[in-house]
Amino acid sequence: MNEPSRWAFVAVLCVWLTIVSLACTAQVAVAQESDTESRPKFDVVVGTWISTGDTRWAHNASSSFPVLGNPTSKLIYKDVGTNVFDIAGTLWLTPRFFGRLNIGVAGIGGGRLTDFDYLAADGGNPSLQTNSNISGDGMWYLNADAGGRVANFPNHRGWLDVFGGVQYWHTKYTAVGLAQVTCTTAGSTIDLGAGVLCSTAGPSTSVGSGTEVITNTTNWYSLRVGGKTEYRLTRQLSLLGSVALLPLSIIENKDIHHLRTSGASALQQNPSISMLGFGMGVDADVGAKFMFTKNIGLNVGYRVWWNRMIDGNVTFHGVSGSSEFPLTEFQSIRHGFTAGLNFIF
């Protein structure tokens, strides 16, 4: 299990343990009016998600040319920081049923793209590694859910809701500059038909830091189903938890390789490479809420989003034709601290 997968697994496990431990003390709400907790009409949280992200993908083209490795290429967009402006609003349509909308927008605050290329002769080790800086672009998402209350905890200690809905998650990265970190003897000598991977063994800088190298755009379209809970320790202080499973996600990814405009390895420019696949994922939040007054509070917590491809293909759009290969990996993870003001009406 790689590092992003471990982050997601730990976060989901912690949230589910929180929900299970609270639900074990809960009683299913009964029909009597005296046992039904009154609730406001609107609940709005305006805040931020201070996060870092990781997107990676790999493909296998060794079936087309035996000298290529498996994977043939792997790209990792790592340490991509964002300060998200996040707003979530819940409207109670009846005392039991609600609708919720959550929107987040952010600019990209830096990061690094590492590109690995593999040849069979190097036995699974990268034949070429290059690094580029991520200079900008942004991210935005939308969650639209509907759900209902299924349990109230005794003595008005809290509640448990379930919900279902959809999510759209868009990211765009611009990578600039190109620094060669490693080039093996095989990488500098084996002819791939369009030339060698790299002309000089060892480290070098081939493209300046102001030159755009790759523009990457990723869209996830997902179904959501999950639960959300609050447990009140005191009248002012509560524990919060939420988990949404994404049982079906469609991944659409497009790359523009700005430097591959001529020669035998030239690619079209919009897009140069496209990917389509399906997978699954999970969203998890844990945190606490402190109410200053009856209607205004402060929420703090930690959030993890993780989407992973199950199956998909990548298409290289050459200037004189296209080639399609299987994707061996595609996943996106984003995690970090959340904080927001909670307004209840």
pLDDT in 10s for each residue of the chain, 345 residues: 555 445 444 444 454 444 444 444 333 333 333 334 556 789 999 999 999 999 999 999 998 889 999 999 999 999 999 999 999 999 999 989 999 999 999 999 889 999 999 999 999 999 999 999 999 899 999 999 999 999 999 998 999 999 999 999 999 999 999 999 999 999 999 988 778 888 777 676 677 778 999 999 999 999 999 999 999 999 999 999 999 999 999 999 999 999 988 887 889 999 999 999 999 999 999 999 999 999 999 999 999 999 999 999 999 999 988 999 999 999 999 999 999 999 999
Distances (CA, A) of 3 to 60, 78, 128, 293: 22, 12, 23, 41
Supply the pLDDT for residue 265: 83
Count of CB atoms within 10 A of residue 28's CB? 9
Specify the CATH superfamily of domain 3-344.
OMPT-like (2.40.128.90)
Closest by CA to 91, choosing from 83, 81, 100, 82, is 100
Radius of gyration of the chain (CA): 24
Supply the pLDDT for residue 194: 79
The structural domains of the chain, with segments of one domain joined by +, span 3-344
Count of CB atoms within 10 A of residue 125's CB? 14
Supply the pLDDT for residue 213: 94
String of DSSP letters for 13-81: HHHHHHHHHHHTT-EEPPS-GGGSPP--SEEEEEEEEEEEEEEEEEE--TTT-TTEEEEEEEEEEEEEE
Side-chain half-sphere CA neighbours of 163 within 13 A:
26
Contact criterion met (CB below 8 Å) for 96 and 65: no
3-class SS of residue 112: strand
DSSP classification of residue 9: H
Report angle CA 340, 295, 239 to the nearest 5 degrees. 55
**Phi, psi angle pair for 23, to nearest 5°:** -65, -25
Q: How far apart are CA 327 and CA 276, in angstroms?
A: 9
Q: How far apart are CA 233 and CA 240, in angstroms?
A: 11
Side-chain half-sphere CA neighbours of 302 within 13 A:
9
Instruction: Tell me how far the alpha carbon of residue 284 is from its chain's centroid.
Output: 12
Q: How far apart are CA 234 and CA 217, in angstroms?
A: 45
Closest by CA to 52, choosing from 171, 148, 215, 168, is 171
Provide the whole-model pTM. Answer: 0.86
